[in-house]
Amino acid sequence: MGSYGQRILSLFPTPFYTGTRIYFDGDMEEEGIDKLLDGLTSEKADEVISAARTLSAVKPELAFYLLLFFSNNRFLLEEGRLAQWVKVVLDLYDAQGLLPAQDFIKLGKNHPLFPLYLGSGVTLREKSSILETYANSLGKEQLVIKEGKSHYTDTTSIFLPSRISTFDDNKKDMLLYKAMVTHKYGQIHLETYKLDLGGIPDLTRELKTRYGDTDKENCLSDLRRFFSFFPDPYIACDIFNLADTVRIEAWISHNLPGLYRELISLKKELIFLRPILDGSTAITRVMDGIVRWWLGEDEELCPVMIREMIQSLFEKEPCTADLAFFTYDFYTLVGVLEGPYKPVEQIPYAGELRPEEAARERLRKRESTRLEFRRQLSKLICELETEKEITVTVPPSESSSTFREGKRVKQDLPQELMVNGKAIPVPEVMGKIIEEIYEDLGSIPSSYFTISDEMSGHHFSHLCDVSPGPANLLSETAEGVHALDEWDYRRQGYRKNWALLRETEVPDGASESYEEVLAGYGTLLRRIKRQFEVIRQNQVLLKRQKDGDEIDLDATVGAIADLSAGINPSDELFLRLKRDRRDIAAIFLIDLSGSTNGWINRMERDMLLILCEALSVLQDCFAIYGFSGNTRLRCELYRIKGFDEPYGGKIKARIMNLKAYEYTRLGPPIRYVTEVLSRTEARTRLLITLSDGKPDDYDGYRGTYGIEDTRQALIEAKRKGIYPFCITIDKAEHSYIKHMYGEINYIFIDEISHLPSKVPEIYRKLTT
């Protein structure tokens, strides 16, 4: 019997059936199953037997195969991932049955599903936030990291593979991610996609003469059009991509020397992972050789002339037009080689060139900047209150030519706009938009200044592009209506004056009496009031202190008297104001969306009554608002109690009159009450939200959009010194709340009926 034989055999019933045989008493020993774990330390054997026991409890055969094919999975034991592997096996067994699970055990690392479930390496999911922050630190550009099937950028987003497991070392995999992000940032920063054929007419002419006029003028992107001039656009594209990588690496070597050093050693390791070409054409072999040489392999792989061309490219900080010239020269040299060309594998961190995607994104950005420009312009004109006929121009700039030596020359940004011949200084917000337009187009096209009469006068209502909801919409100019910005995570910017919010008072006079409700909570109310009385504190002037703000005259007179009497006087002669008084202002924001209808609404009302009773003991300054809405054009904020309203019968009646209304657009009410709260002078300012689910509204305010807007509104509140806290009764997963409020700034109450007792308790804990 093997060292762990008894324990192994105890895992299986007798007789034990497998798909192929029945094991009776003694058969397993005969087969040597009991000796399979011999040689393992007792600790390791314990771990395997424990895993086998878990499997055996579900299906003894799974444990049997674990032992039988243990050698195939032993590496998991060494890596400490056996428990994780067991989970995968059981999931597979539950989902697909015994045979697939058995295969999975048998094939170990070689099973096709292994990399998916237990693959090594680094996943984008765990690193995207770090990579995005890193990408944004590299420059002013606002970039987003996204998962994609291939690696490229459209100049706004960087697409990366979901997992990298190229190396055995996770650090190197992460480094590869970082190199990819930096490379793509380099493309955006160095304007790879902004090749302008208009700036290099000589080259275009020469290409047409040499290769015939294959110009595809309808191409969205000039870069794609440039490739189309060549007989084999794929070769041109690969040459350009290589040249671009060379100049990006030169940029990295100057700006991020630490990364460049690591990249050099990473490149050497990447050579070994490159597939070896078999029976390829001359041109394919040469192209592959050049890439290999660039990664650090032997010089012989790359012709001397090309080596020198690439080296000089590395040294001279080329612009994108220079890359086009380089591509042409390079193509002339290699184009004569025997084809056809089978595109070689690109350098892993260089990814693909996607000129169309970049062009499309550029057009989208251009359109949104144009709209934003016009919106700001109409706002500016509205404020000026000029006559109907308006002419807007940009004052002439000193540098008028847009191209110099193939490079676009950036003009000076205008500091003023001429409105009807009068110079108006450019507002800050507009300045940023103008900067974007200049970055893109070099100047502001005259069409941008064409503003229709209706736009200038009614910029808000005419520029909305979302179809309004069914109910009565608010008008921006109506009394008590506030236009608030909303955060659009997709463009990482605000939609100005996007949501219209109206503050109204909840009408009082409900059918049910609040006295009855309060009477029903008699015991709870007494307990809570007692607890709150304990923490109530007033500011106290402490007399006869050794130090303080003012002299205690009584004590001083006494001391002088003592001194005259020949007694040693006391040194406790000061008055001090005790500072640890409560100085708190709190706003409670209550979800009155349709989903709270019924029981939740009832419990919210009860909770508010109890809370108000408790807070009136504390004499803390507090306000209560309810919110609901229908589209961005009608966000309703119901004032239940304002800061300056005393708590009394009227407030109680309003609480009893609360109803569930429509949707949950959380951002606008948070922004509004943040303003209310920041006008108070309290030392501690609290914003407590009670909610029953994710932000959700009729016009696209759901999912990531709603969550990100709410999060942004909360960040704004925090910046104003407000402490936000959320009480949620959402039974579904609430990881989104963690994202919005922060890890420790929310609490989940699973039992609705506990609301009246829990909420005052939470408030007490938060403020003491």
Partner 1 sequence: MYINEKDIEEYFIRQEPFYLPTGNEVLVFTRAWENRMPVLLKGPTGCGKTRFVEYMAWKLNRPLVTVACHDDLTAADLVGRYHIKGGDTVWVDGPLTRAVRSGALCYLDEIVEARKDTTVIIHPLSDNRRVLPVEKLGKIIEAQPEFMLIISYNPGYQSIVKDLKPSTRQRFVSLEFSYPGEDSEIEIVAKESGVSKETAAALVKIGRMTRNLKEKGLIEGASTRLLIHAGKLVCSGVEPREACSYAITGTLSDDREMLSAIGEMVDAVF
Measured CA to CA, the distance from residue 302 to residue 273 in angstroms comes to 19
Residue 675, H or E segment: helix 667-678
Measured CA to CA, the distance from residue 15 to residue 12 in angstroms comes to 8
Shortest Å, Cβ 106 to partner 1 = 39
Measured CA to CA, the distance from residue 510 to residue 423 in angstroms comes to 59
Nearer Cβ to partner 1, position 182 or 595?
Answer: 182
Shortest Å, Cβ 133 to partner 1 = 3
- Using CB under 8 A as the binding rule, whether residue 212 contacts partner 1 is answered as no
Nearer Cβ to partner 1, position 182 or 631?
Answer: 182
Residues 143 and 132: beta-carbon distance below 8 Å: yes
- Using CB under 8 A as the binding rule, whether residue 542 contacts partner 1 is answered as no
> Residue 85 carries which side chain, given as an amino acid letter?
W
List binders of partner 1 among 681-700 (CB under 8 A).
681
Shortest Å, Cβ 674 to partner 1 = 10
Q: Which one of residues 19, 80, 112, 258 is an interface residue with partner 1 (CB under 8 A)?
A: 258
Shortest Å, Cβ 712 to partner 1 = 10
Shortest Å, Cβ 741 to partner 1 = 14
Q: Which one of residues 6, 50, 142, 415 is an interface residue with partner 1 (CB under 8 A)?
A: 142
155 φψ region: left (φ > 0), alpha (ψ -120 to 50), beta (else): left
- Using CB under 8 A as the binding rule, whether residue 569 contacts partner 1 is answered as yes
Measured CA to CA, the distance from residue 386 to residue 560 in angstroms comes to 75
Shortest Å, Cβ 12 to partner 1 = 46
Measured CA to CA, the distance from residue 133 to residue 147 in angstroms comes to 16
* Phi, psi (degrees; rounded to nearest 5) at 155: 80, -5
- Using CB under 8 A as the binding rule, whether residue 130 contacts partner 1 is answered as yes
Q: Which one of residues 15, 139, 425, 507 is an interface residue with partner 1 (CB under 8 A)?
A: 139
Shortest Å, Cβ 29 to partner 1 = 52
List binders of partner 1 among 712-741 (CB under 8 A).
719-721
- Using CB under 8 A as the binding rule, whether residue 259 contacts partner 1 is answered as yes
Please name every residue paired with 638 in a beta bridge, in sequence order, or none if there are none: 504, 626
- Using CB under 8 A as the binding rule, whether residue 182 contacts partner 1 is answered as yes
Residues 372 and 433: beta-carbon distance below 8 Å: yes
Q: Which one of residues 137, 401, 523, 735 is an interface residue with partner 1 (CB under 8 A)?
A: 137
- Using CB under 8 A as the binding rule, whether residue 563 contacts partner 1 is answered as yes
Contacts of 689 (CB under 8 A, 6+ apart): 588, 589, 591, 666, 670, 724, 725, 726, 727
Shortest Å, Cβ 141 to partner 1 = 9
- Using CB under 8 A as the binding rule, whether residue 579 contacts partner 1 is answered as yes
Give the range of 33-41, 124-132, 234-242, 464-472 binding partner 1 by CB under 8 A.
Answer: 124-132
- Using CB under 8 A as the binding rule, whether residue 570 contacts partner 1 is answered as no
List binders of partner 1 among 227-256 (CB under 8 A).
255-256
Residue 332, H or E segment: helix 320-334
Residues 314 and 246: beta-carbon distance below 8 Å: yes
Nearer Cβ to partner 1, position 262 or 696?
Answer: 262
E strands, 394-435, where?
403-404, 407-408, 416-419, 422-425
Shortest Å, Cβ 136 to partner 1 = 5
> Residue 277 carries which side chain, given as an amino acid letter?
L
| Residues that contact partner 1, how many (by CB under 8 A) | 36
Measured CA to CA, the distance from residue 641 to residue 33 in angstroms comes to 75
What interhelical angle do 42-58 and 60-68 show, nearest 10?
Answer: 140
DSSP letter, residue 63: H
Neighbour count for residue 332 (Cβ, 10 Å) = 10
Residue position matching structure tokens 């800050």: 428
Q: Which parts of 458-587 fold into alpha helices (H)?
A: 459-463, 514-520, 522-535, 553-564
DSSP letter, residue 663: B
Shortest Å, Cβ 585 to partner 1 = 10
- Using CB under 8 A as the binding rule, whether residue 156 contacts partner 1 is answered as no
- Using CB under 8 A as the binding rule, whether residue 138 contacts partner 1 is answered as yes
List binders of partner 1 among 639-678 (CB under 8 A).
678
Using CA atoms, how far residue 202 sits from 218, 313, 318, 401, in Å, is 20, 20, 18, 18
Measured CA to CA, the distance from residue 646 to residue 649 in angstroms comes to 9
Residue 138's SS3 state is coil
Give the range of 103-111, 258-266, 422-430, 751-759 binding partner 1 by CB under 8 A.
Answer: 258-266
Shortest Å, Cβ 137 to partner 1 = 4
Shortest Å, Cβ 703 to partner 1 = 22
- Using CB under 8 A as the binding rule, whether residue 257 contacts partner 1 is answered as yes
Give the range of 194-202, 208-216, 554-562, 725-733 binding partner 1 by CB under 8 A.
Answer: 554-562
Indicate the burial class of 15 (C-beta count within 10 angstroms; 0-12, 13-18, 19 or more). exposed
- Using CB under 8 A as the binding rule, whether residue 575 contacts partner 1 is answered as no
Q: Which parts of 545-646 fold into alpha helices (H)?
A: 553-564, 599-618
- Using CB under 8 A as the binding rule, whether residue 129 contacts partner 1 is answered as yes
Q: Which one of residues 157, 680, 684, 767 is an interface residue with partner 1 (CB under 8 A)?
A: 680
- Using CB under 8 A as the binding rule, whether residue 556 contacts partner 1 is answered as yes
Shortest Å, Cβ 171 to partner 1 = 10
Task: Provide the binding-site residues for partner 1, judged by CB under 8 A.
Answer: 129-131, 133-134, 136-140, 142, 178, 182, 255-259, 262, 549-551, 556, 559-560, 563, 569, 573, 579, 678-681, 719-721
